[in-house]
Structure 1
């Protein structure tokens, strides 16, 4: 490895450790060793230190031992006369750098609590977000294992030209990567360059401004460490497992702009430990042989026009991007883009106009593949602010197409339209809402481009069942009303078909092992009355997925003999789970929280937990950040319920399952539900009231406590007694 690079990295590491320890000593003198320190709202402590050393840094005094470890790792400064292999010492120096920087940033949170926004999106007066909390991490981290986001680019500094900065960011987004931004080049930062170009930054667009100093690189590396622990089953302290997991699974790299300081070299050396190479536009020595990284370790003097492609090549990332022939960029990175009032050209649906979207299956000779028609005014024919009614009718035909698949394909409209840069789509069916931004119109957007996206992507994703697709888009009230009439009859038929299905009417359930890559013993069982705990897969989705990919993660399971109808124990399910979990799980009760409950990965929408004093069950969703009556926040509960282990009394669930007749059937059903966060309770209010009435529990909705009634079991028990909650009269299950 280059002596120049390694010498600089070791020098930089010494500077950083000295700087961090100086700040630590000052804080220790001011606050004392018992002062708590932490990154906000995380169960992973200081994640790099926790993952590499297994050490929980919770107080200032805990940092002393870590600084001792840093000093052990730091090699001596490289002299002019010393010629040795430098790779190992440089890597040690890089690791010491990250340990020191994590502690430096933890002290910063203590001394400057408002230095970072601690939000998902920048604020008007502060663009620097700081470390991702566990709510953000759980929401985004799973994308690094399910393929939605293959990795991230950790950007140090920025190109001087705002237009070039925007172009590079856009190209990275189109590769579905997250872009983590740090530090400055000559006082210029990447996020500020993007804002100048009216580019939205924040977690929703995958353009994440972590911090304005090089030390915030630990927020990116720490995120990768948490992915390995949360979704890869890597234990804290298993440094080798964590490093190998990230090298093989998290396709990340460092992209450095401008002169490279000793401190940047030290951070680059740290990143190489994880297999993350550095690609630079500056004239620095290169490290081309392979070793720790998949290919080269450091590549320099790369022109800005080529730097993204070079980074992809060096990291060994196989990105498959099918170009959709539209003038706007397209990809998952734009799914969270918002079209605000000042950016708005026009909108359809959402109560402003009539809006409806529907997909129907037809006979083969009734569909002309690739035919896209727009009947009525198109975008270029109207003035800004002239809203239009909108009807989107997609007609498909296929030898393997079935009517049960229609809602599955139709559900793709939401994210596929959102993938178009400059468009924002909300809702579905006849409550859809489309906003079109000025920037998209300026690039030549036409409503026909929605048709091109739907045609191309539905073919790609559902080619096994769909042979022909045609798209009809209407913007005249008369034609939209016709589509609305057709759609309502289709919706009604679907609801009847789906609503009439029960676990008893179907002899086959479906598995989902999509998350076994990070929870090897987890097997999700999807039934007509129990949607997958991630909220993304229902029984029909499992059926369609199997049809599309017979060897994929969704396999049909003949449920076999029912061994216990209350617990939901089936012979066929047990045999499948035993085999699919490789013997880790041998018995599964589909309807119980307390007896052989279903395992969970880490993607669940919510967690159910028993409250013994209340003789009932609470459910908390991942967006709720406060304390729960169990004495644990969501992040702590996630550690109890996830990882593929069966933990009686704790179980991952979807929001939809809370209104299922099979909810906690073994424990007495809905009547056991005693506490929900207010946001979740209100979100499912109508369905919850309907389900309670069907279960013979009139007025039950008002008997469910929220955080307004209390966050301890004692407080909840007092409320339950006051409202005469039925759980108090039920048999104890503890």
Structure 2
């Protein structure tokens, strides 16, 4: 059952202020599920789509684990780093990882604050107007109240990591935990389940964008199937929804009748067909926070992959940022946003030849794929510093 659509901006439609914007928000956020307020900073769901173009950039990570403890602990006083490490009891590990998805929701409700990306790639942009109000103590209290409001959660311990040594220690732990969760989910295949999950979180910024998350196809921002499943079941946030897989149209490229129907409805007809494992033929649209972009290289009749951290030009002459501007919120054949988790998938670009057609990757991607691709295949893939 797909949640009903509400009125959103149409292409070329003039934005008419808070009332119209609130209608957009109601389809992706359920304020009643995470109803938190704060004395330390102004908060409202109306601020959830606010873009902060200039301000202090805070590097962070998000990690929720099953564990014991209660209260809020502030570790260190650095202002350029802020890791969020939460221990919860009363829920399973699948539910714990789903709880991570609410951090961006509640922090983005702060006036003058924008929370970007997921897991170990978090960036928080703090505008000058709220510089004095935004603090680890403030964020910690809001996160504590948000997680505590989940009925299944029995206890909550929030650790706000602002010490460099502890930050580096826990972010490495976070990376291992997330990698292990991804590996755990790798045994499940698209064909093993009758239900996928859709996500419309980016519709706050991109009114017609929708992602499809399957066992073989994590979202471009890195959300894996078990996370989406647990988040939807817990009803933590309102932007995940179940998608019946339906009849298989093209298993090789990953086209399913139910996915096409859901994408067409949730994009209001902007996209009518998606092939989950292709970059050349009806690729999945790309949202705001893709970890990497796959792009076609005509001269090679193959693909390149560039991660968000690579600032130089790719073999096509385009940078990550310039590609992202072209494809964000769009379905553009020859480009597709992907996550590192999807690179591990047995179905990675299988509709286009998979890793055998990858000719170039950025250095970070190369370091990552060295862990699982055979040496003979790695030799055929170029990279550069």
- With normalisation by structure 2, the TM-score equals 0.63
Please give the secondary structure, in 2, of the residue aligned with 1:555: strand
Distance (whole Å) between structure 2 residues aligned to residue 415 and residue 596 of structure 1: 30
Structure 1 residues 498 and 457, CA, compared in 2 at 3 Å: closer, same or farther?
same
> May I ask how many residue pairs the two structures share in their alignment?
304
Cα displacement string for residues 467-510 of structure 1 (whole angstroms, at most 9, x for unaligned residues):
4215499xxxxxxxxxxxxx9xx999956643433323332211
The residue correspondences of 1:124-135 to structure 2 (distance < 5 A) are none
* 1:106-152 deviation per Cα after TM superposition (whole angstroms, max 9, x unaligned): xxxxxxxxxxxxxxxxxxxxxxxxxxxxxxxxxxxxxxxxxxxxxxx
What is the match of residue 614 of structure 1? 300
1:706 aligns with 2:380: no
Distance of aligned partners of 1:655 and 1:359 in 2 relative to their CA distance in 1, 3 Å threshold: closer
Alignment of 1:666 onto 2:351 = yes
Alignment of 1:90-101 (within 5 A): none
**SS of residue matched to 1:359:** strand
Match of 1:518 among 205, 225, 229: 205
What per-residue deviation string (whole Å, max 9, x for no partner) do you get for residues 334-388 of structure 1?
87179xxxxxxxxxxxxxxxxxx87327xxxxx8xx84599xxx999xxxxxxxx
Deviations 1:580-633 (A, max 9, x none): 122222221111111111112343232211112212101223333332222333
Distance 1:515 1:415 in 2: 11
CA drift of 1:465 comes to: 4.6
**1:514, CA displacement in angstroms?**
1.5
- Structure with greater proportional helix content: 1
Could you tell me which runs of 5 or more consecutive residues in structure 1 were left unpaired when the two chains were aligned: 1-231, 251-319, 325-331, 339-356, 362-366, 381-391, 420-427, 430-444, 474-486, 709-734
Whose strand fraction is larger, Structure 1's or Structure 2's? 2
Please point out which of 341, 351, 359 is paired with 2:65. Answer: 359
Residues 534 and 605, structure 1, Cα contact 8 Å, conserved in 2: yes
1:692 is aligned, of 356, 362, 373, to 373
Q: Which residue matches 2:366?
A: 681
Which position in structure 2 is the counterpart of 1:336? Answer: 58
Equivalent residue for 2:97, pick from 386, 407, 431: 407
Cα shift at 1:648: 1.6
Q: Deviations over 1:231-259 (max 9, x none)?
A: x8877xxxx947x5799769xxxxxxxxx
The answer to whether the aligner puts 1:631 opposite 2:324 as a matched pair is: no
3-state SS in 2 of match to 1:703: coil
From 316, 326, 330, the equivalent of 1:640 is 326
What is the distance in 1 between the residues matched to 2:364 and 2:276?
Answer: 27
CA RMSD of aligned residues (A): 4.6
Pairing of 1:107-146 with structure 2 (within 5 A):
none
Task: Map 1:225-264; keep pairs closer than 5 Å.
Answer: 241=14
Give distance in 2, aligned partners of 1:582 and 1:247: 20
Any residues of structure 2 matched to 1:406-425 within 5 Å, and which?
406-409=96-99
Mark the structure with the bigger radius of gyration: 1
Q: SS in structure 1 opposite 2:306?
A: strand
Secondary structure in 2 matching 1:509: strand
SS of aligned partner of 1:405: helix
Higher relative contact order (CA 8 A, sep 6+): 2
Q: 1:15-74 CA deviation, whole Å, 9 max, x = no partner?
A: xxxxxxxxxxxxxxxxxxxxxxxxxxxxxxxxxxxxxxxxxxxxxxxxxxxxxxxxxxxx
State the secondary structure of the residue aligned to 2:203: coil
**Could you tell me how far apart the structure 2 residues matched to 1:492 and 1:533 are?**
15
Q: Does 1:652 align with 2:337?
A: yes
What is the SS of the residue equivalent to 1:692?
coil
- Partners of 2:200 and 2:239 within 8 A in 1: yes
